[in-house]
């Protein structure tokens, strides 16, 4: 599937991009954001952690049924389908149907069941899964403890929840540079999506409290995993963040015509820091394993 076909599929699914701003709209991966997210952002920051999550789960315990939350365009799902035995069934969910449509169109190495679902109101029976996994999804939720309670409800006793959250934005260099550059350009109302939401849930004490409040009383393990984010150019990295995340909604809320201008500013800032050719920056996340 070409990038043009992906963009058309996503746009048909949910129509034109929303020009929205603020935390209530941070989950709005609408319109062509899904296609750009898959083409640019997935290889930039998500693939290393998808590989880590799949192998971490495969090594944890015998499995029969796995539920994935906030699957997005399927980057972790594809790894799970490759790493887990074919006897293990995988159900992959996301709130945004456009993301699931694209994930389904890209496909997996073996059959996966795709289903639209809200993490805070899962449409599954109690104790139905051996494992629940979620790559970079819990940060988007207002009531995180409620979401952990739902994960606890659907996982069987002795089952496991494995999830990842980004570390603070200062440990994620491209996101930090983009946020700082756009903040200076829009000083009266800086777009703060990246700092507020993807990188806003990094306090491990808070994460642990929420997991325990969700009901998980078994062993809890936290690993802080650093990796590298690489792109062919500063421009590619800038497009990934400015066009492939709800940061786009914040920029367009100021004026739709300013998206290109903001992308240019972000690209120049990345180039000043990392060079004009291939760019390479640090990324860092926390991976949490909780046993019911």
Domain membership of residue 103 (yes or no) is yes
pLDDT at 46 over 50: yes
Residue 42 lies in a domain: yes
Give domain status of residue 244, yes or no. Answer: no
| pLDDT given at position 255 | 80
Strand order in the sheet with 220-231: 113-116, 89-94, 65-69, 129-135, 155-166, 279-291, 220-231
CATH of the domain at 30: 3.40.50.150
**pLDDT tens, position by position, 259-288:** 999 999 999 999 999 998 999 999 999 999
For residue 6, pLDDT beyond 90: no
Q: Are 153 and 122 in contact (CB under 8 A)?
A: yes
| Predicted local confidence at residue 30, as pLDDT | 52
| pLDDT band at 254; cut points 50, 70, 90 | confident
Which pLDDT band, with edges at 50, 70 and 90, does 23 fall under? low
Kindly tell me if the per-residue pLDDT of 55 is higher than 70: yes
Report d(CA 58, CA 33) in Å as an integer: 31
Cα dihedral 186, 187, 190, 194 in deg (nearest 10): 90
Residue 255: phi and psi, rounded to 5, are 180, 125
Q: Is the pLDDT of residue 11 over 60?
A: no
How many domains, the chain? 1
Q: Which two tokens stand for residue 220?
A: 């809890």
Residue appearing with tokens 């062993």: 219
By residue range, what is the domain housing residue 214?
3-176+201-230+284-291
Least confident stretch, 32-36, 76-80, 238-242: 32-36
Q: What percent of the chain has a predicted confidence (pLDDT) above 90?
A: 86
Residue 115, domain member (yes or no): yes
pLDDT band at 29 (very low <50, low <70, confident <90, very high): low
Asked if residue 251 is part of any domain, the answer here is no
CB neighbour list of residue 184: distance below 8 Å, 6 or more residues apart: none
Note whether residue 190 is domain-resident.
no
Tell me, yes or no, whether 43 lies in a domain: yes
Residue 86 lies in a domain: yes
Q: Is the pLDDT of residue 146 over 50?
A: yes
pLDDT tens per residue across span 127-138: 999 999 999 999
Q: Rounded mean pLDDT of 205-209?
A: 97
| pTM recorded for the entire structure | 0.88
Residues 14 and 99: their CA atoms lie apart, in Å, by 10
- Which pLDDT does position 31 carry in this prediction? 54
Task: Name the pLDDT band for 67 (thresholds 50, 70, 90).
Answer: very high
């Amino acid at each position: 599937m070409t990038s043009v076909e992906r963009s058309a599929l996503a746009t048909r699914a949910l129509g034109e991009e929303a020009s929205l701003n603020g935390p209530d709209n941070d989950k709005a991966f609408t319109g062509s954001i899904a296609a750009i997210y898959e083409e640019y952002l997935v290889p930039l920051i998500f693939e290393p952690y998808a590989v880590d999550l799949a192998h971490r789960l495969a090594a944890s315990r015998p499995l029969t049924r796995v539920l994935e939350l906030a699957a997005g365009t399927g980057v972790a799902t594809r790894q799970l389908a490759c790493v887990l035995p074919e006897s293990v069934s995988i159900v992959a969910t996301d709130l945004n149907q456009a993301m699931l449509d694209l994930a389904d169109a890209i496909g997996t190495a073996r059959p996966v069941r795709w289903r639209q679902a809200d993490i805070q109101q899962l449409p599954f029976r109690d104790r139905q899964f051996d494992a629940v996994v979620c790559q970079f999804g819990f940060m988007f939720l207002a009531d995180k403890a409620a979401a952990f309670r739902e994960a606890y409800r659907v996982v069987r006793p002795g089952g496991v929840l494995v999830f990842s959250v980004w570390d603070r934005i200062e440990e994620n260099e491209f996101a930090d540079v983009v946020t700082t550059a756009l903040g200076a350009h829009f000083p009266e109302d800086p777009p703060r999506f990246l700092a507020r939401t993807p990188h806003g849930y990094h306090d491990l004490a808070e994460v642990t409290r929420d997991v325990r409040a969700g009901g998980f009383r078994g062993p809890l393990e936290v690993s802080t995993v650093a990796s590298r984010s690489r792109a062919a150019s500063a421009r590619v990295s800038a497009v990934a963040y400015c066009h492939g995340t709800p940061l786009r909604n914040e920029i367009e809320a100021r004026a739709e015509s300013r998206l290109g201008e903001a992308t240019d500013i972000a690209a120049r800032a990345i180039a000043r820091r990392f060079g004009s050719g291939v760019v390479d920056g640090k990324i860092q996340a926390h991976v949490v394993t909780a046993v019911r």
